[in-house]
Structure 1
Amino acid sequence: MTGRSLSRATYVALPWILPVAIVLWWDLTVRVGWIPPAILPLPEEVLSAAVRLIETGELQENLIASTGRAATGFLIGGGTALLLALLCGLFPIWGNVLNPSLQTLRSVP
């Protein structure tokens, strides 16, 4: 910039440029047939489906179920990691036995 500060309207509008461009590109690619609607529906179809899911309560129900599954997985994984870390830290022989396998697993996302 040349030292001028941005106007408030420009400052508010700037973060919206990329998301709006992505949605417009998405809409264009489906409408001209570059991407079949069966693969990627039009943005308004996605929005109407989201509204329907919210109105019926199905979205909230599924979000609660997914959050529960994620929390359960986190607790199982965290609990297992804590137990293995305690085992390796308190008993050096277990550290020697388990460390190579645990180091291999660490690189797995």
Structure 2
Amino acid sequence: MGRRSGPGKRDGGKRAWQTWLAGALLPVTVLAVWQVLGDLGYISFLLFPTPQRIGNAFITLAKTGELWSHLWISLARAMAGFALGGGLGFLFGALVGLYRYAEKTLDPSMQMIRMVPHLAVTSLFILWFGIGETAKILMIAKGAFFPVYINTFLGIRNVDNKLFEVARVLEFSRFKQLVRLVLPAALPNILLGVRLSVGISWLGLVVAELMSSTSGIGYLMLDARASSKTPIVFVGIIIFAVFGKVTDSIVRRLERRLLGWRDSYQG
């Protein structure tokens, strides 16, 4: 059996490398063209510093330790906001999905709050909670709440009703229905909500740190913009992009592991 698994692992590793190379082709090409145009003087160093200048700015910030101190603060904010918003979104989504009375009572208000633009409540959050960590985490949580809430609700409501009839025949308790039936069937939607929520948490972090902050990657970008240090602004943008992609990949890997039983179309 060990001999049989070897080629399969090698094929899987080869496919992973091919996927990575295919995904890296476009950004590497863009960076190369960008560097050449900058070296030839076709683009402004002030507005579009070359990748080499951005890399030098990153190295300088990393060596001084300034980058890491701001990065850990931003990561802590993003994780705290996601945990709060995503956790409440799951609880309220499950409540509204399981009970029709809860849907009639809570969902209309939830949908109204969802339609309020993120920037519209920023000033209120600052007014109510100041410019401390509470306001920032709540702003991130607001954005993270609704993707999980909506997808949990839809996932539960899309569960085949025949499964509930089988559960009643087997005399499952309400808790056992939830754990053994509802959550596994709704898991694809819930994980989709988590994936969307993670992305929006990063967007909320940017808004929170750019509007009112004295630390974090957003503050670092804002301070660099005021000093016309454009390479540092690009460093911040790239960090947000990279960590957003990394967290999305983690959720996708979790999704593949938990939903390995699905025989879905792969393209």
TM-score (structure 1 length as normaliser): 0.65
Of 69, 92, 96, 1:88 maps to 96
Identity fraction in percent: 30
Which runs of 5 or more residues in structure 2 are unaligned? 1-16, 116-145, 151-195, 201-267
Q: Does 1:62 align with 2:81?
A: no
Q: 1:73 aligns with which of 49, 72, 81?
A: 81
**Corresponding residue SS for 1:37:** coil
Structure 2: which amino acid aligns with 1:72? A
Closer, same or farther: CA 99–17 of 1 in aligned 2, 3 Å:
closer
Distance 2:100 2:42 in 1: 60
Unaligned runs of 5+ in 1: 1-10
Provide the C-alpha distance between the structure 2 equivalents of 1:71 and 1:37, rounded to a whole number of angstroms: 35
How far off its partner does 1:58 sit?
A: 1.2
Which residue of 42, 46, 53 maps to 2:61?
53
Aligned residues: 97
Equivalent of residue 28 in structure 1, options 21, 36, 42: 36
| Shift in alpha-carbon separation, 1:89–1:53, aligned structure 2, 3 A | same
How far is 1:89 from its partner? 4.6
Partners of 1:56 and 1:92 in 2: CA distance: 56
Counterparts of 2:94 and 2:25, CA distance in 1:
50
Post-superposition offset of 1:91? 4.5
Task: Output the CA distance in 1 between the equivalents of 2:89 and 2:26.
Answer: 40
Larger Rg: 1
CA offsets, 1:32-70, max 9 Å, x none? Answer: 343211121122211111111111111211210111111
SS at the partner of 1:38?
A: coil
* Aligned amino acid, residue 44 of structure 1: Q
Q: Distance in 2 between matches of 1:59 and 1:67?
A: 12
Q: Which has the higher helix share?
A: 2
- Equivalent AA in structure 1 for residue 61 of structure 2: L
CA distance in 2, matches of 1:52, 1:96: 56
Higher relative contact order (CA 8 A, sep 6+): 2
* Comparing 83-92 and 46-55, the one that deviates more: 83-92
Q: TM-score, normalised by structure 2?
A: 0.30
Secondary structure at the counterpart of residue 49 of structure 2: coil
Cα displacement (A) at 1:23? 2.5
Q: Which amino acid aligns with 2:59?
A: V
